Amino acid sequence: MAVFCGASGNKFLFSNENKYVISWLPPFFLKVLLPESLENISPEDSIKIRRAVVEFLMPETLQYFIPIMDSMAKKHLETDWSPYKQVKVLPLSMKYTFALACRLFMSITDPNHVTTFADPFALIVDGLTSVPINIPGTNFNRAIKAGKVIHQELLEVIQQRKKELLSETNATVARDFITHTLLAFDENGRSVMNDFSAITFVLKYLADFPHVYNEVLKEQMEIARSKGPNDLLNWDDIKKMKYSWNVAREAMRLIPPSSGTFREAITDFTYAGFTIPKGWKAHWTPHSTHKNPKYFPNPEKFDPSRFESNGPAPYTFVPFGGGPRICPGREYARSEILVFMHNVVTRFKWEKAVSDEKITCKLSPIPVDGLPIYLKPHNHIY
């Protein structure tokens, strides 16, 4: 394993996809995440799937999701936050992001159906960060079983979408990702299917820095006052949330939702005087640049102004990766985070219940106590 560090290391890996390296995951990840029928998926099918994801998550498509995100955020805060004086941000943000994903990616709105995905998903997260020993009683074994449950549920949803497509006279508009993907592939094609962490730590830093919270509130209230009482957010509103997005980016700089990904060398190559043999694995991590004072002076300081004007140098701020393998969901994540920020800051102020809460990592970093906060509803009505 060769670990590539710094902006130059990131640039090299991101710029040489399919020339020197290809994407790679540890085999035990694949055993949990993919059914056996897809473990040997062809490169051509992988390209088709990725293209379908990119097309589905383009800004032109996302603009239709914004009102749905807004209405679901309002309902979530009204149901799961407003009745209480204290809540835990992590499980609630996970509940919201998962329900939203089920709605937008699979058109699933029934809370009980959402739970059939959410419960096994939690087991998968625990299993992927455990020692990969597949014997009954281990987290890894439970994760494999949970993966099979999700695959079966997805298969049933896919079969239902196929029936709906066949019964419709005009199936040119895809209503969710599964429908979109089925339309993108021919009959022989196949389709498969960490924002809660980012939302959690945005709220943490807004509690830590009241002056930053006040600036976010000011920006979001200007947008709120420009809307009618029943108007939902739209794409133009998202584009106005410049300071709020700088705050979110600074939170992701300090605590990236992902610790990086892997590549595999497909040929011998040389980098920085080292020869990396074919078959070796490579790893990049945002931590090698996000906390480097060369790129971010006083790196431990929370400072959203770093992202004003031209922002950081290329290949230094990489929470979503870069190059051809950059996360196709980055604009989706941006919209989801900003919609949630708008709703939560215009409804509440809050204080942390645990001042020095520790952070651990299960695929994504999480506060060990779930970030409990005391809620203080605003008195204003807009």
Backbone angles phi, psi at 274, to 5 degrees: -105, 140
| Pairing assessment for the beta strands 274-276 and 86-88 based on DSSP bridges | unpaired
DSSP-derived secondary structure for 149-197: HHHHHHHHHHHHHHHHHHH-S---S--SHHHHHHHHS-TT------HHH
Nearest-angstrom CA–CA distance, 297 and 3? 24
User: What is the largest distance, in Å, between two alpha-carbon atoms of the chain?
Assistant: 64
Nearest-angstrom CA–CA distance, 145 and 39? 16
**SS3 at position 293:** coil
Q: What is the DSSP letter of 271?
A: E
Instruction: Using CB atoms within 10 Å of the CB of residue 121, give its burial: 0 to 12 exposed, 13 to 18 middle, 19+ buried.
Output: middle
- Side-chain-side CA neighbours of 246 within 13 Å: the count stands at 19
Nearest-angstrom CA–CA distance, 125 and 142? 10
- For helices 195-208 and 210-225, angle between their N-to-C axes, nearest 10 degrees: 110
Inter-CA distances, 253 with 206, 317, 367, Å: 15, 7, 16
Nearest-angstrom CA–CA distance, 368 and 212? 24
Instruction: Using CB atoms within 10 Å of the CB of residue 6, give its burial: 0 to 12 exposed, 13 to 18 middle, 19+ buried.
Output: middle
The contacts of residue 108 (CB under 8 Å, 6+ apart) are: 102, 114, 117, 157
Please tell me whether 5 is known to bind a ligand. no
Annotated binding-site members for heme: 327
Annotated binding-site members: 327
